[in-house]
Amino acid sequence: MTAIVTAAEVLAWAAEPAGPVPIGPLWEVSGLARPPGNVRDAAGQLARRTAARLGAGAPPFGSRSQIGLGPIFLAAAAGGRRQENPAALLAQAIPPAPARGNPAVWYDLIARHGLVSAVVTALDGADLAAGTVTVAPTAAAPPPSRGNGNPKGAPEPLPELLLAASPLTTVLYRPPLRALRSGTTRQATTTTLALLRQPRGQSVLAAGLAGWIPLADVLSWRASLLAQLRNDHQDLLLDVYLTARTRFGTEWDQRINWAARQLRPHSPPDPLALATLRFWAPLAAVERGTPLSRLRPLLSGQDRALALVRRHHLDQAGAA
């Protein structure tokens, strides 16, 4: 097997993720710069499937641009992760083009997102099952064992490098932890604003940000992003919460009830329970100014979440 074969297997897996992320060698890595047609076709197929899943249209967001080599390099990095140094170099070899003012970039960004979102969520899921994921109560207050970034010279974990190479994933999932810990998430916010200007962009954001996920860092990022957009893009914020209630209402009710049980007086706060409630803090902040029934008459079922946000003062400390 070669790096091209490894990339092809990971691209095919990401189009229909099932089981663990494939693993392969990174021999003859120079071949990635001249991938055969079947590998380019696999990247295109992944982009089309990802666009369909997101509801981004065909072509995604109206972009008829070409997919670059970035997704292929990222697939090779993911599959060759046991070779840490070569995989890290591949993950950083082709930085993404900025989305702002560049409507021709979206097809490539969709392909990157299809690859990275599948790989990172699979690896995070494996870590959760093994009990090795540590979640933080907020992006600004990491646990002492994690610090505020990597020590100088320490290698960054591959999932973080993959996230840095996929702007759309930093929006819909989360930015790299180093950005969350240091509060340097401006690029992800810029990508969000660029996406809002694309056809179907707002509906993709509303669907992508509305669900519950068992990772405090992800939920806290979503709360932070929505809080940033609360004043200038209130329609998006309301669409996210309307989607949360109409598409994911049953699960959110279960998770909110669970969070309420975890946050008992005189007990250490559970980070995931706090993040679950904090997700609703931006909506509570909106309701302080205008009744939600006037803004979104179809929005309902959120009263318990908003009451818990206020009880635990999360609308003051956690809405930003």
Q: pLDDT tens digit string along 84-105?
A: 999 999 999 999 998 888 888 9
Mean pLDDT of the chain: 89
Residue 59 binned pLDDT confidence (cut-offs 50, 70, 90): confident
What is the model's pTM? 0.89
Residue type, 1: M
Q: What is the pLDDT of residues 192-208, one digit of tens each?
A: 999 999 999 999 999 99
Q: What are phi and psi of 141, to 5 degrees?
A: -130, 75
- SS3 per residue for 227-296: HHHCCCCHHHHHHHHHHHHHHHHHHHHHHHHHHHHHCCCCCCCCHHHHHHHHCCHHHHHHHHHCCHHHHC
Q: Report residue 42 as tokens.
A: 């696999």
Does the pLDDT value for residue 65 go beyond 90?
no
Does the pLDDT value for residue 133 go beyond 60?
no
Alpha carbon of residue 85 to chain centroid: 25
The secondary element (H helix, E strand) that includes residue 208 is helix 201-209
Does the pLDDT value for residue 128 go beyond 80?
no
Q: Identify whether the C-beta of residue 55 lies closer than 8 Å to the C-beta of residue 199.
A: no
Q: Identify whether the C-beta of residue 309 lies closer than 8 Å to the C-beta of residue 275.
A: no
